[in-house]
Structure 1
Amino acid sequence: MRIHTRVLAGTLLVCVLGGWASPAMSAAAHPFGPPSTARIGADGSRVTISWFAAEDDWVALGQSIGAFEDPATGTVTTELTGEQKLERSPALRTYLLDRVTVAQGGRRCESRLEELRELVTAGARFVFDCQSPVTQLDVTVAALTDLNKAYRTMLVAETPATPGRTLLTEAESTRRLTFSGAGGSGPPPGTTSVVVGAAVLLAGAGVFAALWRRRGTGGRS
């Protein structure tokens, strides 16, 4: 078991032994640490987002959507770690797909959530297929803010975009990003200079060959 998984399992154990706090009390304990992070990349018409949250935030989220058993109403299963229970929760997938979205020209891009594995270290990984190559997108990350308005997410563009980093909050959970070089229609960086350089070399070789022929014939016409 990875160290992060042990931490999450330990946090859950404390919750189980101490009894579940009310949702308001649970959420209030978490949103004032470092913000969650959403890393976004674009390639052609495809967009990817990886969303990372702290261990205790995953606990608060899992509790709010009913991913964990309540010891007050039944037996708590110990065969799975808290992380594994989250990864297998249909409610978590529904929640994440509803609250992390991408829109192009006012229309939502088709989204899917990859298999949830090692949530704490790998995050939740989204794939969005848009109608056309990406230039501008409206990106929404509203996870956790329904638990407490103080939660926020740092949106970081891994493909060159403006803004490159922006903070999403409960009041402003959607930001417009303008991407450069994400459409995939132009040559890759450096290709133009290589082509120009090759043309210059070929032209120079042609001039050299002509001069050599003239020298070989003594300049006679």
Structure 2
Amino acid sequence: MILIKRALLMAVAAVIIAAQPALAHPFGPPSTARIGADGTRVTLAWLPAEDDWVALGRSVGAFEDPATGTDTTLTGEQKLARSTAVRDYLLARVGVTQAGRPCAAELAPLERLLADGARFSFACAAPVVEVDVRIDALTDVHEAYRTMLTAETPAAPARTLFTASSGAHRLRFDPSAASGVPLAVPAVALVAVLGVLVTFLVRRRRAGAAA
């Protein structure tokens, strides 16, 4: 009887230990994301860890049921990339709105999702200055999942944490940086105009002196 109890305890302990890695990551470092603005367009890349992609794929049914057999001709990354359920999930969980209106979303192919993440492009109605960004991917799988967003185009705030209880934040981009016109262009144009003006004045003075 004692041996049976010990065996049961060991079996329970083994199940708990085996389950811990699957539950640990939501409490580890957050997923990361990058955002930028150019003219009327916002670009955003969501970059979760590999096991987070697995959790997402399992939650939407992108993988086969092991009980019915597993397709070994495709990698897990390929199965995720080809899943319409994954694409629908991402488009539903990541979004940008401007003045209360959704910016049209486009999701790039997911062939290199482990390296490049999910790459979005949002077309807004007006030049992007102030927009509301929503990232609540994976928080439906576990409320401890978070995403740290970093602005690659100057914005306030420069870094923002998205959580289950705070899945949307407002970002204000630097109007000059998000206008689509590099700051160096006006400066170069001004220098060129001044150069032409100086040349004209010098030639005019020389012509007057010669007369």
Give the TM-score of the pair, scaled to structure 1: 0.80
| Cα offset, 1:116, TM superposition | 1.0
More helix per residue: 1 or 2?
Answer: 2
- Look up the match of 2:52: 57
- Look up the match of 1:108: 102
The gaps in structure 2 that reach 5 residues or longer are 1-14
- Look up the match of 2:25: 30
Contact 1:27 1:147 in 2 (8 A): no
| Cα offset, 1:71, TM superposition | 1.6
In 1, the alpha carbon distance for the partners of 2:184 and 2:47 equals 33
In 1, the alpha carbon distance for the partners of 2:113 and 2:92 equals 18
Q: Which residue type is aligned with residue 50 of structure 2? A: E
Q: What SS is found at the alignment partner of 1:197? A: helix
In 1, the alpha carbon distance for the partners of 2:50 and 2:93 equals 19
| Cα offset, 1:136, TM superposition | 0.7
| Cα offset, 1:27, TM superposition | 5.5
User: Within the alignment, does 1:183 sit opposite 2:179 as a pair?
Assistant: yes
Q: Which residue type is aligned with residue 34 of structure 2? A: R
User: Within the alignment, does 1:141 sit opposite 2:138 as a pair?
Assistant: no
In 1, the alpha carbon distance for the partners of 2:105 and 2:21 equals 30
Q: Which residue type is aligned with residue 44 of structure 2? A: I
The gaps in structure 1 that reach 5 residues or longer are 1-17
Q: Which residue type is aligned with residue 154 of structure 2? A: P
In 1, the alpha carbon distance for the partners of 2:24 and 2:71 equals 25
In 2, the alpha carbon distance for the partners of 1:86 and 1:198 equals 53
* Shift in alpha-carbon separation, 1:200–1:148, aligned structure 2, 3 A: same
| Cα offset, 1:53, TM superposition | 0.8
Count of aligned positions:
193
| Cα offset, 1:203, TM superposition | 2.5
| Cα offset, 1:100, TM superposition | 0.4
- Look up the match of 1:10: none
* Runs ≥4 residues deviating over 3 A: none
* Shift in alpha-carbon separation, 1:26–1:70, aligned structure 2, 3 A: farther
Q: Which residue type is aligned with residue 170 of structure 1? A: A
Aligned Cα RMSD in Å? Answer: 2.0
| Cα offset, 1:39, TM superposition | 1.0
Contact 1:26 1:60 in 2 (8 A): no
In 2, the alpha carbon distance for the partners of 1:151 and 1:87 equals 22
Give the TM-score of the pair, scaled to structure 2: 0.84
Contact 1:68 1:85 in 2 (8 A): yes
